[in-house]
Amino acid sequence: MFSNYLIGLREGLEASLVVCILIAYLVKTGRRDALKPVWTGIAVAVALALAFGCVLEFGSQELTFEAQEALGGSLSVLAVCLVTWMVFWMRRTARHLKAELHGKLDAALAMGTGALVVTAFLAVGREGLETALFVWASVHAAGDGSPRPLVGVALGLATAVLLGWLFYRGALRINLAKFFTWTGALLVVVAAGVLAYGFHDLQEADWLPGLTNLAFDVSGAVPPDSWYGTLLKGVFNFQPDPTVLQVTVWLLYLVPTLALFLAPVGFASGKGKVKEPDEQGSRPSKAPQAPRA
């Protein structure tokens, strides 16, 4: 449940911040007449994400077992790829997200109502589709049939909406860089479990070999139906009897991805990069004054 709460919170807060930036910019620039098209685009994006989730859930039930496992494994791998790209993208561009959205909104305002709807739809729709896909993959990996994963997602999204509203009202100030770094790192750990279980699904679908080649079996020490086994399963998608392929995939994804994600921001681009004043959070220095006579 915690992992799904984290997914809902992390993805929902990104979408909430996008909505807050769009709405606040229109209000501050006196373009309240453009709020309705923006809200229309946001509503369409949310509806599309919900419809996509329903198609994944109910459409997969009509398939055979092998087809369900193949679909679940393939979508799990795709979901992990999208979420991994998302956490790195947010880490790299969060500081400039506001200016980027303002530029797109200015262009949309010049083009008309339809462009506003499309801009809001694209800004929120990507987050919604990623959330629906990753939540479905995570719930599919949990595989216990209980409503707790969906409850966790709903609570995470509700918390994200509340935080977004507090940001908009100016009542909340937190370090977003640290927040997205730590939640992103936790999400990478969750994604590693989803990826490993996705490969297990592909093994059960006979797409990959090695289903009976177990790396270890600690079912006696960590029973899957125990409270701690359920906790490990819910948070990390832990499986007490993984295959060698699952463990290999888990390690090959988690170790380098987490190390690269937690590395300093300027690590990949080299040292000695001069930061812009808005990146440092400081005001530009005043021009030197001529000495008095």
pLDDT of 278 > 70? The answer is no
Residues 117-147: tens digit of each pLDDT: 887 888 788 778 878 888 788 777 766 556 6
Q: How far apart are CA 58 and CA 132, in angstroms?
A: 13
Name which of 134, 157, 123 is nearest 45 in CA terms.
123
Q: Which pLDDT score, from 0 to 100, does residue 291 have?
A: 44
**Predicted confidence band at 61 (pLDDT cuts at 50, 70, 90)?**
confident
Residues 9-38: tens digit of each pLDDT: 877 887 887 788 778 888 877 878 888 888
**C-alpha distances out from residue 203 to 69, 232, 283, Å:** 8, 22, 56
- Specify burial of residue 189 (Cβ count, 10 A radius: 0-12, 13-18, 19+): middle
Q: How far apart are CA 199 and CA 187, in angstroms?
A: 18
Domain range annotation of the chain: 2-266
Under a CB-based contact definition with an 8 Å cutoff, are residues 162 and 14 in contact?
A: no
Which residue is it, tokens 């109502």?
113
| Average pLDDT for the chain | 78
DSSP character at residue 83: H
Residues 68-123: tens digit of each pLDDT: 889 888 988 988 998 888 788 777 766 676 777 778 778 877 777 777 788 788 87
Give every CB contact of residue 171 below 8 A, 6+ residues apart in sequence.
none
Residues 244-275: tens digit of each pLDDT: 999 999 999 999 999 999 887 655 444 444 34
**Predicted confidence band at 224 (pLDDT cuts at 50, 70, 90)?**
confident
Tell which wins on pLDDT, 289 or 192: 192
pLDDT of 215 > 90? The answer is yes
Residues 149-188: tens digit of each pLDDT: 778 888 888 888 888 888 777 766 666 677 778 878 888 8
The three-class DSSP label of residue 190 is helix
Q: How far apart are CA 130 and CA 122, in angstroms?
A: 12
B/e letters for 67-89, b = 16+ CB within 10 Å, e = fewer, are ebbbbbbbbbbebbebbbebbbe
pTM of this prediction exceeds 0.85: no
The three-class DSSP label of residue 206 is coil
Q: Which pLDDT score, from 0 to 100, does residue 292 have?
A: 46
Give every CB contact of residue 80 below 8 A, 6+ residues apart in sequence.
134, 137, 191, 192, 194, 195, 198, 253
Q: Which pLDDT score, from 0 to 100, does residue 260 have?
A: 92
Name which of 100, 107, 106 is nearest 123 in CA terms.
100
**Max CA separation in the chain (angstroms):** 90
Under a CB-based contact definition with an 8 Å cutoff, are residues 164 and 17 in contact?
A: yes
Cα–chain center distance at 157:
12
Tell which wins on pLDDT, 195 or 30: 195
Q: Which pLDDT score, from 0 to 100, does residue 284 have?
A: 45
DSSP character at residue 211: T
Q: Which pLDDT score, from 0 to 100, does residue 279 have?
A: 39
